[in-house]
Structure 1
Amino acid sequence: MKPVCVLGNGQLGRMLRQAAEPLGIQVYPVGIDAEPESLPIAQSVITAEVERWPETALTRELANHPAFVNRDIFPRLADRLTQKQLLDQLNLATAPWQLLADKAEWPQVFSTLGELAIVKRRTGGYDGRGQWRLRANETDTLPDECYGECIVEQGINFLGEVSLVGARGHDGSTVFYPLTHNLHQEGILRTSVAFAQADAAQQAQAESMLSAIMHELNYVGVMAMECFITPEGLLINELAPRVHNSGHWTQNGASVSQFELHLRAVLGLALPQPVVAATSVMVNLIGTDVNYDWLAQPLVHLHWYEKEVRPGRKVGHLNLSDSDHPRLAAALNALVPQLPQEYASGIAWAVEKL
């Protein structure tokens, strides 16, 4: 089996490597400044855990690698302008939007999009960074350099947020996990809940939309699609051409994790429909020191990234899975006194979903 080089050596690359070990597959998460001659690049399949990267000796070599899967798709989806244009091209529902090119456009923006505008940098920006929620009297707070480098969307009064994680193989076959319900606070994913059986209508709509995107792009591997729930159906918020934070529950809640599924897809291995037999909850650990007392809970699986703990930084996650909802709720509630106070609301949200 060919080795896999993963452009990017953060936690996603680490978890891809962990998923590969039982299969006897060598995975090399590599930083963008790595020396190409130190890696088995010529013999490898190339994938990425990041959508954007600067030009370095490594990325210049990879740019011409014939086995760099999805190479030309990454820049298209990393730019929110071209990502939105793709959704419009496919007639897929998304929040009304436009390019924000000049300050003089604001009256027309609010006239067209409504009283709340969501400004997003075209490239970069994640976990709430590079985004602004603005009303008509707040536009002066937007930095001047944003004009021409941002899109602006209509603020959506959504009922909830869900994501769909799916995969497409080289042969065009697709498989999907059940929809995941997500809670974001200050733009950062805090908690996810995935049921073995999702709402049938929402699941069907989401699978249809993500299938259309992956087929149009001839995409291979795992892709995640974040959506708003509205009374009219799902609206696509953003796409991620990679394994995704909201799919971390699959490590302990599905027969095949999103990380193994991605490796199977890019290597041309079998892509069976993952089996999900129970409800799963994922709690992101953000700027929080590790506490091994969490392991006293029999349902808790700790995934620690061994990163320096800093405010706002994702340093790990906890997965819990059980078909017995009262037992799952009890395990979640038992974590509350073992975590900083800011986790209580996210855990209460998850318990309420059960």
Structure 2
Amino acid sequence: MSRVWVLGHGQLGAMLQHAAMPLNVDVVPVDIDSAQLPDLQPEDVVTAEREQWPQTPVTEKLATHPNFVNLDVFARLADRYTQKQLLDQLGLATAPWRLLDDNLSAAEIHAALGERALLKRRTGGYDGRGQLWLKQAESTAIPDDWRNLAIVEQGINFDEEMAIVGVRDRSGNKYFYPLTLTLQLNGVLTASVAPLQRLKKLQRKAELMLGTLLDELDYVGVLAMECFRVGDELIVNELAPRVHNTAHWTQAGASVSQFESHVRAVAGIPLAKPQVKGLNVMINLLGTPYDERWWAISGAEPYWYGKEVRPGRKVGHITFTHSGDKRLIQGLDELKELLPPRYEEVIDWVEAAVEGDSAE
């Protein structure tokens, strides 16, 4: 049995562990603050469920293992400054940007990037945190404690947000999942839908962009690319060198989930082209109390993370996979009655995306 250690023991590590069981791979998520060091063997493999981590005895031991896959990639992509440099180097479209150094004034930012500019912390700041809008009309000031620790990028007037996830093995073989339409509320992924017929015309373009990144980085495993759609163009927003929330629907809706693809790639098991089973919807459960009635909804596949429920915290997700849109809408309507009122607009958005695609 192969063994793969995962730096981090959140829900992504747990889902990797679950996906690895049929492969006869022993995936072991590791608490980075544990007092017990992992018993690494020379033939073991190390991966991570997070882009960055503090230095602890556990992370130090994992990071010094010669089989830590993509070790050099994590720091490069976790820093938005070096991530943006990579995108520019490869000629991949991204929002125009500048490093927020000591000398850059608000006037210079607006002259170069327009009336709306977004400050983003170079590291961290996911799920809507670590971001600050700089608006010329409001004369927003630049906080001193952001300088040299952030980039600033042009505010993009996009049509939609979407993401694509791909996997690459050590030999350079690559497969991609369909472009996934995403709903972000307050910067947090709340719902996703895939595949949509109307996005197929952009699939090849997205695959070429992500494939360029995978090859340039000599990447092994799953990597996610979040994008803005502006007309028929895709603009890269963020990269994530790991399994990603936007592709959780693949657990139910693909013959090989993103989690299984990642385990296969890092463990050296042959990849297979994922076959999509139907139309897929995923609803993120954010700060939502557990409700056993979810399991009684026809077609619903809930996944509860077993975490303490706190406002805004990702505590689970519910996926629907159907070949018939009518049954899918019925299940979503049932779910709407069992979720907090704030989810009404989320499910309305999902249903509009599904029904609008069917009408095309």
Q: So what's the TM-score if we normalise by structure 2?
A: 0.95
| Number of residue-to-residue matches in the alignment | 354
In 2, Cα distance between equivalents of 1:187 and 1:41: 40
Asked whether the 8 Å contact 2:2–2:24 carries over to 1, the reply is no
Q: Equivalent residues in 2 for 1:1-354 (5 A)? A: 1-35=1-35, 37-102=37-102, 104-138=104-138, 140=140, 142-195=142-195, 199-354=199-354
| Aligned-residue offset at 1:134 | 2.2
Assess, with a 3 A threshold, how the Cα gap between structure 1 residues 283 and 239 changes in structure 2: closer, same or farther: same
SS of 1:277's equivalent? coil
Unpaired segments of 5 or more residues in structure 1? none
In 1, Cα distance between equivalents of 2:196 and 2:233: 21
Assess, with a 3 A threshold, how the Cα gap between structure 1 residues 139 and 6 changes in structure 2: closer, same or farther: farther
Assess, with a 3 A threshold, how the Cα gap between structure 1 residues 40 and 132 changes in structure 2: closer, same or farther: same
Asked whether the 8 Å contact 2:7–2:30 carries over to 1, the reply is yes
Asked whether the 8 Å contact 1:36–1:61 carries over to 2, the reply is no
Alpha carbon RMSD of aligned pairs, Å?
1.5
Asked whether the 8 Å contact 1:163–1:246 carries over to 2, the reply is yes
Asked whether the 8 Å contact 1:196–1:277 carries over to 2, the reply is no
| Aligned-residue offset at 1:83 | 0.2
| Aligned-residue offset at 1:136 | 1.9
In 2, Cα distance between equivalents of 1:104 and 1:238: 23
| Aligned-residue offset at 1:232 | 4.7
SS of 1:170's equivalent? coil
In 2, Cα distance between equivalents of 1:99 and 1:232: 28
Corresponding letter in the other structure for 1:110: H
Corresponding letter in the other structure for 1:218: D
Assess, with a 3 A threshold, how the Cα gap between structure 1 residues 232 and 255 changes in structure 2: closer, same or farther: closer
Q: So what's the TM-score if we normalise by structure 1?
A: 0.97
| Aligned-residue offset at 1:246 | 0.4
Assess, with a 3 A threshold, how the Cα gap between structure 1 residues 141 and 15 changes in structure 2: closer, same or farther: farther
| Aligned-residue offset at 1:96 | 0.6
SS of 2:162's equivalent? strand
1:158-198 per-residue CA deviation (whole Å, 9 max, x = no partner) reads 01011001100000000001110000000000000001756
Corresponding letter in the other structure for 2:341: Q
Corresponding letter in the other structure for 2:317: H
Assess, with a 3 A threshold, how the Cα gap between structure 1 residues 172 and 139 changes in structure 2: closer, same or farther: farther
| Aligned-residue offset at 1:24 | 2.1
Identity of aligned residues (%): 52
1:6-42 per-residue CA deviation (whole Å, 9 max, x = no partner) reads 0000000010011112222111100112346443354
| Aligned-residue offset at 1:341 | 0.6
Corresponding letter in the other structure for 2:243: V
SS of 2:105's equivalent? helix
In 2, Cα distance between equivalents of 1:49 and 1:96: 29
In 1, Cα distance between equivalents of 2:141 and 2:343: 30
Assess, with a 3 A threshold, how the Cα gap between structure 1 residues 41 and 291 changes in structure 2: closer, same or farther: farther
In 2, Cα distance between equivalents of 1:290 and 1:158: 35
1:60-94 per-residue CA deviation (whole Å, 9 max, x = no partner) reads 22222110000010000000000000000000001
Corresponding letter in the other structure for 2:212: A
In 2, Cα distance between equivalents of 1:105 and 1:29: 44
| Aligned-residue offset at 1:201 | 2.7
SS of 2:2's equivalent? coil
In 2, Cα distance between equivalents of 1:170 and 1:179: 24
Corresponding letter in the other structure for 2:199: D
